[in-house]
C-alpha cells in the first residue's frame, strides 16, 4: 500500500509539471498497465481541480471552458479542441480506466436554449442511424447533471481534406479517389433520409492513415420525419445557417432542401480540391444571407474548372507555381486535366437541382469512369491526353458532309451500272 501511495504521489507531482493540455494524455500513458492507479489518480485530480495550484491557471488558458476538469458521463474533460456557432468540442478521457480519448460536443451555456437542446438531441439520433467507415462514429451521449445535452464521438486526429491533399502534394487522380469515399459517405447518409447541409473541407477530416471522415451533422436535415422523435421541437434557428461558398442555390434562397443540395456542395468541394478555388468567392461565414447576396450567389453560372489556370499560363504567376507544386504537376498538364474534368464537376454544380447527379454514388461512379478512361457523362471512350481531332461544334457539319459524299458515291455507282 505504501508503494501504491508513493506511486500516486509521484504521478500527481509529475503531472503538475506538465502544461495543462498534456497532463491527462500523459496520465493515460503513465497508468496504461495499472487501471487501479489510473482510477486513483483521476479521483485525486477531480478533488484537486478547484484547489490545487497545478490547475489554477486553467481558467486563464485560451482553451478554458466552464467544464474543463469536470466529469461528463464516463469522461473527464481535459481541454477544448474546437468551437462552432452553437457548441464547443471538448477532449475527454475515460475516468475509470485507461482508454482512447474522445471528442465531446456540448452546447455553450450562453446558447442553451430549448431549441438548441432539441437540435443536439436530433443530431444524436441522426448519428445513431449512421454506420459507415467514412462517417465519424457516435460513441455515447446524454445530459449533464445540469441538463446540458452532449454527444461523445470518436476523436479524430485528422486534417481538413483540402489541407491534407495540399501538404502531401496529392495529384488530381489521388484527390479524386479520396473524394469518392466522401461521396459514398454522403450517399450512405442520404439512404437514411439525412441531408448534411454543411459539406465543406473543415467537415471532412482525413486521418493519418488517409481515411476521410465526414463530421458535424449539427445542421443536418432529416427528410423522413418519422425518423425523428415526435416529442422534439424541430428548430427554426438553423434553417438558414450555412457556409455561403459551399451552399446550394436553393439552400441560399431558403427553398426546400433535398439530397441534391448536398450534391451541389460536393461539387464545390471537388472544384476546390482540384483547382484551388471555389466557384464563387463570398465571405465564408455561417450566417443568414440577405436577399441581394442570395441573388448574387445563385444567378451566376460557375466557371470552367480550368479558367483561372488557363488565363494564367502566359503570366506564370507565383500562385500557379504553388498550385502545381501542391498537385505534383506542371501548369500545362494541370490546365489540360482540369479542362477534361470540368464537365464532371460542373454537372454537380447545375443551378437546377434536377440536372445534377441523381445520387452521390452517381457522382462517384462518374469519377470511376473518368479514372478508367471513359467520359464521366457517357460510355464514350475519351483520350486522356490528346485533344479531339475536330472541335465538338464542327462534328455535325462533318457528319452531314460525310453523308452527302456517300449519297453522291452511291448515285454515281447506280448511274454507271445502268
Final residue in a domain of this structure, among 154, 181, 214: 154
Contact 76, 96 (CB under 8 A): no
Query: How far is the C-alpha of 278 from the C-alpha of 237, rounded, in Å?
Result: 27
In CATH, what number is assigned to the domain containing residue 218?
1.10.510.10
Regarding whether 268 and 132 lie in a shared domain, the answer is no
Contact 359, 190 (CB under 8 A): yes
Regarding whether 284 and 227 lie in a shared domain, the answer is yes
In CATH, what number is assigned to the domain containing residue 101?
3.30.200.20
Q: Is residue 208 part of a domain?
A: yes
Regarding whether 181 and 292 lie in a shared domain, the answer is yes
pLDDT at 253: 87
Joined together, the cell numbers standing for residue 78 give 481535459
Looking up cell 432529416 gives 222
pLDDT at 165: 97
Joined together, the cell numbers standing for residue 354 give 434536377
Regarding whether 248 and 165 lie in a shared domain, the answer is yes
pLDDT tens, N- to C-terminus, the chain (418 residues)? 344 445 777 777 777 677 655 666 677 777 777 777 776 776 665 544 433 333 333 333 334 455 667 788 889 888 888 776 678 888 998 887 778 889 998 877 655 677 777 778 888 888 888 899 999 999 988 888 777 888 999 998 889 999 999 999 999 999 999 999 999 999 999 999 999 999 999 999 999 999 999 998 878 888 865 544 433 333 334 445 678 889 999 998 888 899 999 999 999 999 999 999 898 753 333 344 444 545 555 677 888 999 888 888 877 688 899 999 999 999 999 999 999 999 999 999 999 999 999 999 999 999 999 999 876 554 333 333 333 333 444 555 566 666 666 666 656 565 555 5
Q: Is residue 302 part of a domain?
A: yes
Regarding whether 19 and 166 lie in a shared domain, the answer is no
**Which residues are designated catalytic?**
198
Contact 151, 102 (CB under 8 A): no
Regarding whether 71 and 185 lie in a shared domain, the answer is no
pLDDT at 55: 32
Regarding whether 164 and 145 lie in a shared domain, the answer is no
Query: How far is the C-alpha of 365 from the C-alpha of 256, rounded, in Å?
Result: 26
User: What is the total count of domains within the chain?
Assistant: 2
Q: Is residue 236 part of a domain?
A: yes
Regarding whether 258 and 308 lie in a shared domain, the answer is yes
Q: What is the span of the domain harbouring residue 83?
A: 2-154
Q: Is residue 174 part of a domain?
A: yes
Regarding whether 59 and 182 lie in a shared domain, the answer is no
Q: Is residue 408 part of a domain?
A: no
Specify the 3-state DSSP secondary structure of 325.
helix
Query: How far is the C-alpha of 409 from the C-alpha of 243, rounded, in Å?
Result: 63
pLDDT at 177: 97
DSSP code, position 379: S
Q: Is residue 268 part of a domain?
A: yes
Contact 345, 260 (CB under 8 A): no
Contact 232, 122 (CB under 8 A): yes
Regarding whether 229 and 335 lie in a shared domain, the answer is yes
pLDDT at 34: 75
Regarding whether 61 and 169 lie in a shared domain, the answer is no
Final residue in a domain of this structure, among 154, 180, 210: 154
Regarding whether 94 and 175 lie in a shared domain, the answer is no
Q: Is residue 111 part of a domain?
A: yes
Q: What is the pTM of this model?
A: 0.71
Q: Is residue 16 part of a domain?
A: yes
Final residue in a domain of this structure, among 154, 180, 207: 154
Amino acid at each position: 500500500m505504501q508503494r501504491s501511495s508513493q506511486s500516486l504521489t509521484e504521478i500527481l507531482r509529475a503531472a503538475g509539471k506538465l502544461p495543462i493540455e498534456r497532463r491527462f494524455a500523459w496520465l493515460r500513458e503513465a497508468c496504461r498497465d495499472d487501471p487501479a492507479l489510473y482510477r486513483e489518480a483521476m479521483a485525486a485530480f477531480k478533488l484537486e481541480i478547484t484547489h490545487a495550484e497545478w490547475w489554477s491557471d486553467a481558467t486563464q488558458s485560451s482553451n478554458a471552458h466552464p467544464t474543463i476538469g469536470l466529469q461528463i458521463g464516463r469522461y473527464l474533460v481535459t481541454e477544448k479542441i474546437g468551437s462552432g456557432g452553437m457548441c464547443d468540442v471538448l477532449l475527454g478521457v475515460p475516468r475509470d480506466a485507461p482508454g482512447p480519448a474522445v471528442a465531446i460536443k456540448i452546447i455553450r451555456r450562453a446558447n442553451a436554449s430549448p431549441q438548441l437542446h432539441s437540435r443536439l438531441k436530433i443530431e444524436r439520433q441522426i448519428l445513431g442511424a449512421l454506420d459507415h467507415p467514412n462517417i465519424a462514429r457516435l460513441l455515447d451521449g446524454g445530459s449533464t447533471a445540469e441538463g446540458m445535452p452532449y454527444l461523445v464521438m470518436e476523436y479524430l486526429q485528422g486534417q481538413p481534406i483540402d489541407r491534407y491533399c495540399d501538404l502531401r502534394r496529392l495529384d488530381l487522380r489521388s484527390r479524386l479517389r479520396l473524394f469518392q469515399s466522401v461521396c459514398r459517405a454522403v450517399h450512405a447518409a442520404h439512404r437514411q433520409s439525412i441531408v448534411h447541409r454543411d459539406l465543406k473541407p473543415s467537415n471532412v477530416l482525413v486521418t493519418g492513415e488517409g481515411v476521410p471522415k465526414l463530421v458535424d451533422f449539427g445542421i443536418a436535415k432529416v427528410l423522413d420525419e418519422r425518423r425523428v422523435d415526435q416529442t422534439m421541437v424541430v428548430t427554426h434557428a438553423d434553417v438558414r445557417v450555412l457556409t455561403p461558398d459551399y451552399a446550394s442555390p436553393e439552400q441560399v434562397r431558403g427553398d426546400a432542401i433535398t439530397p441534391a443540395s448536398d450534391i451541389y456542395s460536393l461539387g464545390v468541394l471537388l472544384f476546390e480540391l482540384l483547382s484551388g478555388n471555389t466557384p464563387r468567392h463570398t465571405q465564408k461565414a455561417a450566417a443568414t444571407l440577405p436577399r441581394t447576396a442570395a441573388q448574387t450567389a445563385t444567378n451566376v453560372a460557375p466557371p470552367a474548372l480550368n479558367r483561372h489556370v488557363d488565363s494564367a499560363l502566359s503570366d506564370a504567376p507565383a500562385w500557379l507555381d504553388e498550385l502545381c507544386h501542391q498537385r505534383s504537376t506542371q501548369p500545362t498538364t494541370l490546365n489540360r486535366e482540369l479542362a477534361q474534368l470540368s464537365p464532371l464537376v460542373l454537372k454537380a454544380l447545375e443551378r437546377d437541382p434536377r440536372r445534377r447527379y441523381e445520387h452521390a454514388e452517381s457522382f462517384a461512379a462518374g469519377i470511376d469512369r473518368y479514372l478508367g478512361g471513359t467520359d464521366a457523362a457517357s460510355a464514350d471512350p475519351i483520350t486522356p491526353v490528346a485533344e479531339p481531332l475536330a472541335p465538338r461544334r464542327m462534328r455535325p457539319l462533318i457528319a452531314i458532309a460525310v453523308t452527302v459524299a456517300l449519297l453522291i458515291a452511291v448515285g454515281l455507282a447506280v448511274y454507271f451500272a445502268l
